[in-house]
Structure 1
Amino acid sequence: MPKLTIRAIRYKRTNGRTYPNFNSLLKNSDTLQEVKEEIKFKPKHILGNILAIIMFFADYASDIWVIVALHAEEGWSVNAIITICVVIIPLCILNITSAIWYHQDHSGPREGFCPVSSKFLVWETLYLAIGHLLLCGPVVRILHVMWCSYRERGPRAQAYKKLRLYYERDAAYLSLMDSFLQDAPQLLLQSHILLTRDSETLSDTWVALVQIGSILMSLSSMSLGIVSHVSACHSADLNLIPLSTQATLTHWAWRMFVLTSRMLSFSLFISAYKYGPLIFVGVHVSIMFIWIRFLGSNFCGSRDNKSRPVEEFFYDCLVAYMYTFDIINISPGQTRWRNTFYYTITFLETIALVVLWTYAINHTVTDLAPWTYSTEFQAIMIAIIFTFFFIGIAFIFIYYTRYHKSGEKKRHANQDSFTTRIQHSSTIPSL
């Protein structure tokens, strides 16, 4: 199978099948109304975008609150400084990436990725520049999506629909990057501080409560970031059926439970070992990187699908790092087998992390918070880790049997186009 550029919305001939592009599909009178119903901007999408903006500001507000609380408790301690770096550096990377993508999208009809050739007006350029300088690039993109949806009512409705679907995908991918670059390290850092600090030396219990709130916010942002990315990719690609509300909620439950189990086991392991986590991450990322290179991707390819090996190498490194926490799909193929492989490795790693943590706190480590040594605490943590993991696996099973298109594999084995799939949409659960 040829490597496809994910960011560029293109529909090429793959495995002998020609996938229709947007315009040719809309010319089919039999599927026009159904396609419009599937991809039009609905009130639930407006609510989703408003929720995304609220979550963005709430997430960073909780992080700032943690910084203020740590400074009030400890002054300019190592914990406070590292927390600042974990918040600021990923946010700068995120906004720089967003600005670069905007430049690439509108650099010209031959090189830009954007499906509609256009140049920004002066006021649009100023708006984008100011928004990114204020480190609000993700919010700028969400507002841009909503603006495109409003312009869909005008004479250039189809052009703005293309733009809206395209910008939705980019906004979702930036949210995904934010989840793994900022939320994951912040969650692990605050968990480590809580597990290694003696509660008797804490002068203000509100500091611990603020840290717990930040941890929960980071966990929610990570799960929502993955789900929004999957949803946007399915909505933008006409060869995939958009996620229904039920499928979205099931997918979110899958990610939320699995991530909770993964992050909790990792946090406990980090609290008991100084250099063990570096070895664990190094081995895991190396295995994931080899696997990703074997699967193949062309995310950084040009508009004419030419590969860019250097950029692709660094992108694969980033994805391998993301795979430390959870899996995302980056190339065509059977995702259920990839998930089976990944979560089997994750389960074995979880067992190893829990065993090593239990051994350490009972035999070698003596500088943790006193309550971490109690048998009750250890039993509760182990129960939560494995219970949440298997609940997440149960939601994966529900998602793939009820909402994933391959669940209808036998029924629709002879269907060769998205048009045929849409015509049978009454019998296929929306992805």
Structure 2
Amino acid sequence: MEEEVGIPVPFKYPASDFLLTVSGLLFFLTDVVLDVLAVVSFYRQEAYVFMGMLVFLLLGSSALVQAFSWLWYHYDKDRTETRTESLVKSLRSLKILHVFQMGVYLRYAGVVRISICGFCCGKRYTEGDAVFLTHDLNMLRLIETFSESAPQLVLMLTIIIQRGEVEPITILKALGSVSAIAVSVTMYHRSLRSFLPDKAKQGWCSSVVFFMWNLLLIGPRVAAVALFTSVFPCFIAAHFLSSWMVLFFFVLRLKTDFMESAGGEWLYRATVGLIWYFSWFNVAEGHTRWQSTFYHTWIGVDIGMLCGLWVWQMSKNPPYFELPLDPYVILGIMISLYIAGLCLKVIYYKFCHPKITKLGEVEYHLEPRSEEVPTDGDVVDSGLMNRSRGLTEPVRTYLGPPEPAVRINNRMRNLADNFYS
């Protein structure tokens, strides 16, 4: 009914997004099962080094994600919350849940519950709560992707290369894993779109282009690290730490303001350095063309060096198995794919990316009807100024029954400001 009269709903949570969230939970559970099976498989093979590295990645990533989840719950403790979260907090077990790595499941439970209630009972205002929690989930999935999925894929590719199991089926599995990483980045991108004005909304075409250029940039990066690790396993830790320290230094120079505590902000900056090791992540407000150009140039050179060292080692100490392609051809393919990804990224920002200077906070006033206001329409322009940011946009006022206030995820709104500025 609201859509028919043109009432501006700040956040919409369609059934498709709900299905994606439920699918994300199923994939999350499936991934946990597969991780356990992988650990058991390494144990049975007596590959204790690989098993130890995998367990370290799993536990480290889970602890990092749970830390962010707990901090966000702590920041939002005095704000509107779902009944699922209220129940847990009343039992004083929220912190215990995060200690036992169950905080993300609580977030999924909150989204599923309020989504079902909204769809069944027709409570449109619950969409804001659903989107609020979904934004945090997408950010947590992004952190999990680059702290667990990407390093785990590097580990698996390294094992495949060292064992000479480079077959079409393994290549397809690797492509599927890289695609899953690009999908996580794309879902994060789609969550940022909810902060755009209606006239600047992006369609699925832009998401496809966004997915493709991330796939073409992340794939060669992961493959290059895996190739280098397969021949110089003792030096990959030094390469990662030195690269991470440089990236962390540049994050510090940007003076980010994402978290609401000093310790949380340092954790966020360290995490951004980890994400940058694999993919570009916009954390600064304003034009970042030169920063992005410098980053991709540096990563491109690093990919060339890693692959070049691998080619040199292959020519110096040929493997006992036959490679499907000549090492120099593989080097050329890596560089070509990375350049193609850069070209697609330029196309995205040229034709698909909306040019918005600042995303304003639209205030929605929910007031009861009265006889003093027009009755021939449900929406009027109040002519008020958006005082939160000094914008001159008129504020739309809904003349209808009072409803609960809409939750605004300030963390993701700030990231949307950075991405679309």
- What residue number does 1:370 align with? 321
- The structure 1 residue matched to 2:35, chosen from 37, 42, 63, is 63
- What residue number does 2:301 align with? 348
Q: What SS does structure 2 have at the residue aligned with 1:406?
A: coil
Provide the C-alpha distance between the structure 2 equivalents of 1:68 and 1:50, rounded to a whole number of angstroms: 28
Amino acid at match of 1:42: P
- What residue number does 1:251 align with? 210
Q: Comparing 234-243 with 160-169, which one deviates more in the overlay?
A: 234-243
How far did 1:121 drift?
3.8
How far did 1:178 drift?
0.7
- What residue number does 1:16 align with? none
Superposed CA RMSD: 3.9
Amino acid at match of 1:338: Q
Provide the C-alpha distance between the structure 2 equivalents of 1:248 and 1:353, rounded to a whole number of angstroms: 30
- What residue number does 2:292 align with? 339
1:223/1:255 contact within 8 Å kept: yes
2:304/2:331 contact within 8 Å kept: no
1:257/1:391 contact within 8 Å kept: yes
Provide the C-alpha distance between the structure 1 equivalents of 2:117 and 2:354, rounded to a whole number of angstroms: 32
Distance 1:40 1:118, change over 3 A: closer
Provide the C-alpha distance between the structure 2 equivalents of 1:63 and 1:52, rounded to a whole number of angstroms: 16
Distance 1:144 1:391, change over 3 A: farther
Provide the C-alpha distance between the structure 1 equivalents of 2:110 and 2:195, rounded to a whole number of angstroms: 16
Amino acid at match of 1:52: G
Q: What is the TM-score of this pair, normalised by structure 1?
A: 0.71
Q: What SS does structure 1 have at the residue aligned with 2:32?
A: helix
Provide the C-alpha distance between the structure 1 equivalents of 2:137 and 2:392, rounded to a whole number of angstroms: 25
Number of corresponding residues: 361
Q: What SS does structure 1 have at the residue aligned with 2:282?
A: coil
1:269/1:357 contact within 8 Å kept: yes
Q: Which runs of 5+ in 1 are unaligned?
A: 1-28, 109-113, 200-204, 302-307, 410-415, 423-430
How far did 1:279 drift?
3.6
1:142 aligns with 2:113: no
- Percent identity over paired residues: 19
How far did 1:172 drift?
0.8
Deviations 1:358-410 (CA, angstroms, capped at 9, x unpaired): 112212x46x55334x7x3414422431232123223212211222112999x
Distance 1:323 1:41, change over 3 A: same
Q: Which runs of 5+ in 2 are unaligned?
A: 359-389, 397-419
- What residue number does 1:234 align with? 193
1:294 aligns with 2:245: no
Q: What SS does structure 2 have at the residue aligned with 1:387?
A: helix
1:39/1:242 contact within 8 Å kept: no
Q: Comparing 267-276 with 213-222, which one deviates more in the overlay?
A: 213-222
1:168 aligns with 2:119: no
Distance 1:94 1:240, change over 3 A: farther
- The structure 1 residue matched to 2:49, chosen from 63, 78, 84, is 78
Provide the C-alpha distance between the structure 2 equivalents of 1:147 and 1:155, rounded to a whole number of angstroms: 13
How far did 1:232 drift?
1.6
1:95/1:138 contact within 8 Å kept: yes
Q: Comparing 143-152 with 182-191, which one deviates more in the overlay?
A: 143-152
- What residue number does 1:18 align with? none
How far did 1:141 drift?
2.1
2:13/2:131 contact within 8 Å kept: no
Provide the C-alpha distance between the structure 2 equivalents of 1:33 and 1:342, rounded to a whole number of angstroms: 44
- What residue number does 1:384 align with? 333
- What residue number does 2:417 align with? none
Amino acid at match of 1:259: I
1:39/1:235 contact within 8 Å kept: yes
